[in-house]
Amino acid sequence: MSTTQPSLPPVLRPAAPPKRALTDLAARFATATRGELAGVTLSGITLATADLRAGEAFVAIRGVNKHGAEFAVAAAQKGAVAVITDAAGAEIAAASGLPIIIVDDPRGVLGALSAWVYGTGADDTLPLLFAATGTNGKTSVSHLLEGILRQIEVVTGLSSTAERHIAGDVIVSRLTTPEASEMHALLALMRERDVEAVAVEVSAQALSRHRVDGIVFDVAGFTNLSHDHLDDYADMQEYFAAKLALFRPDRARRAVICLDSPSGADVVAASEISVVTVGTPAIAADAEAAAAADWVVTIDEERQRGTRFTMTGPQGRSLTTVVPVIGPHMASNAALAIVMLLEGGYAWERIKSALERDGQINAYLPGRTELVSGDSGPAVFVDFGHTPDAFVKTLAAVRRVTPGRTLMLFGADGDRDATKRLDMGRTAVEGSDILVITDHHPRFEDPQSIRATLIEGARNAQPDAEIHEYSPPETAIVAAVALVGDGDAILWAGPGHQDYRDVRGVRTPYSARELARRALRDAGWSVPEPHWPVPYAD
């Protein structure tokens, strides 16, 4: 593959940006100012000089190693009309010659600033906003929300780990949840394009780092909470508290909570907004609690190309449909999305008739247990899952639709939560017949050391298991395909939809989906043309 570092996708803005007087901004937000503000107008706001457009204000935030104000001169050269920063940043930014707005906490006020600049605050006219959060499943819920909305002929927007969608246009994502300045600009663009409803994936980091400040979601959905991100949070309690912040009146109006993990009940107990619950007893940690949910999901049938389920709820309502990916957890995600739409005001009969008409949910979930193989040979699923809990659920789902052996292929992120690696190895070996350990994003860590920890976790759990180690992943997938045959399955977890690998800070173009298809072709198996989904067939 090419070693050219891929360019970052563009930051999106409204085509007709607003014009805001700098004096008005200062009156609302400044603790002090420097320079001449009168007569200056701004048309946007950004944190990064690389994304800055002429006429915008540059927000300079103190980073780990540098203060953003050090880039104020570069911002001025690119056409910035003002700098917004703290007192320390103001001293540094003075060399730019730009007027300076001083605030106590630039990142903390960025959401409110952006909402004011773009007119996207809680009191402004906006599309209907849906937020999905949780350790696993939030990307899937977001794409399922959008898929169903499109089936009922709604003009949609989407912001997920994988993609941004605006009225049919698709842009690759940078962050799971954009920075507040980008998020509000995106909402302004969606409003401009007559988007009626938007599905937004909201990470814990987005809540902790003020990326969704200034937004009040109409409905917030919670999937689950499991071991992850302990590089960012001191412990699971702190991680949970970060997620819980979404379920307050200043963040969302209503909530839909999945009770399949123990944390679901905790969110219900602590939520400060009205709550509706969804449960799937077949996979819930507490089947009795899930069965007592407002909406209960029953798994009817599992196949490689979809999962048929029935959801029942208040007033005798019942719906049977298909989510076009494997696993009861995906049926749970789909039901969560449907109930979120109901709570957002969409009529039950409108949703039900569309799904019955089409025979399934017409949603494409990029890199989420995505089947990339053909009708013969081993089934190959490429997935974004990178937690022990995700491994358990997805491997179990693959096993149930696989007549032969299940091979697990995965690596782990470097410079990320290392405390989960032993459990990743353990759950991977316990759920598979053959285990292949490879690399993922080593970043600045030694990839051999990462692999050794994963293998240690696997060997501790099953000393006699069939475990292979290959590096790089281009070699690993070829070896994996050679280890299995017709009727077997490969689950390649980790890369999912991503189109790069991060090796020592360099993003090298890379597609697990394409590598898997190539390995299958080279082994003599036919593969479908890319861009799925393949319809569920009776």
Q: For residue range 51-66, what is the model confidence (pLDDT) as tens digits?
A: 899 999 999 999 888 9
Instruction: Output the pLDDT for position 176.
Output: 54
> C-alpha distances in angstroms, 118 versus 33, 241, 316, 517?
22, 29, 44, 44
Dist CA 194 CA 173 (whole Å)? 21
- Burial bucket for residue 56 (CB in 10 Å: 0-12, 13-18, 19+): buried
pLDDT tens digits for range 445-492:
999 999 999 999 999 999 999 999 999 999 999 999 999 999 999 999
Instruction: Output the pLDDT for position 10.
Output: 66
Domains and CATH numbers, the chain: 20-118 (3.40.1390.10), 128-358 (3.40.1190.10), 370-522 (3.90.190.20)
Predicted structure pTM score: 0.85
Nearest to 496 by CA among 144, 3, 163, 12: 163
Instruction: Output the pLDDT for position 368.
Output: 81
Angle 116-68-251 (CA atoms, 0-180°, nearest 5)?
35
Weakly modelled stretches of the chain, pLDDT under 50: 1-7, 532-538
Instruction: Output the pLDDT for position 228.
Output: 64
Do 453 and 421 form a contact (C-beta atoms < 8 A)? yes
Range 255-282 burial, b when 16+ CB lie within 10 A, else e: bbbbbbbebbbbbbeebebebbbbbbbb
Q: Is 463 helix (H, G, I), strand (E, B) or coil?
A: coil
